[in-house]
Amino acid sequence: MATLRAIMLAASIFWYSLLAGWGGGPVALAYGGFTIWMLVDAIRRKEYLWVVAILAGLGIWYFFYVYRSGSSLEGFQLPGAAKRQRIKELQAKIHHLDNAVHHFQLGDIYFGQGKFPLAEKCYRAALERDPADIDARAHLGQCLLRLKRPAEAKPLLEGVCAEDPKHDFGYSMMGLAEALTALGETDAAMKTWQRVTAHHSYPRAKVQLAELYLAKNQTEAARTELNEVLADDAHAPAFQRKRDRFWVRRARSLTAKAGGGR
């Protein structure tokens, strides 16, 4: 409600200023009335990005591509519109069918948006309907990690990795290693990271393994992992460098501490 009040206040100020500038003539009044009409409709549909666009003078776009068509997926589309539509579709399917896969898919969308409490709720709903679903167990474990609840994440991820060590291309095992690290089980975490790096060259894995090596004064082993991260980054495509830049920066910082001088 606070968001809606702020939007309506901004709209009022914007249109008051505009109408005052135009002298309140019939054209200004007609355009202002049309825009308020579109604003009210967008707010009712909870299309808040479109509200901002309408305030920026794109009310006519909204009229043709959302109001008349009834869908924000046709024609011009603001960022996030497709995802909001997908959420509505999944919520409708859950209402009518209530099966595990739709709860899981909705959980993945919320997870990708960083809405971890909502994602947790969806994953748990999926597991209530299909307790054996390995993907739902793995993603719930990853979600709990991000909610700072590694003790709850650990058994889920342990079970997944025991069943399929390569699950999610090694991401489930990385999650398990992070849970073990967070719980202070450093020896088990180190072995788990080593299992990951034996098959994958993820900077996320190599850097965190290097941190454990440094904590145990195994400087040479740490330098090896960090130098590999920096060497791989130099030849990586742009999209990969963007994705891994957090870990690459961390690798550079740790290399200096490890005496790598790179």
258 close to 229: Cβ distance less than 8 angstroms = no
What residues have CB less than 8 Å from 77, skipping those under 6 apart? 65
List the chain pLDDT tens, one digit each, 262 residues: 555 555 555 555 555 555 555 555 666 667 777 778 777 877 876 677 777 777 777 777 777 666 654 444 333 444 555 678 888 999 999 989 999 999 999 999 999 989 999 999 999 999 999 999 999 999 999 999 999 999 999 999 999 999 999 999 999 999 999 999 999 999 999 999 999 999 999 999 999 999 999 999 999 999 999 999 999 999 989 889 989 999 999 999 999 877 755 4
Q: Please give the Cα distance from 157 to 177 (Å, whole number).
A: 9
Which of helix, strand or coil describes residue 45?
coil
Tokens of 159: 């079970």
Q: Please give the Cα distance from 80 to 226 (Å, whole number).
A: 36
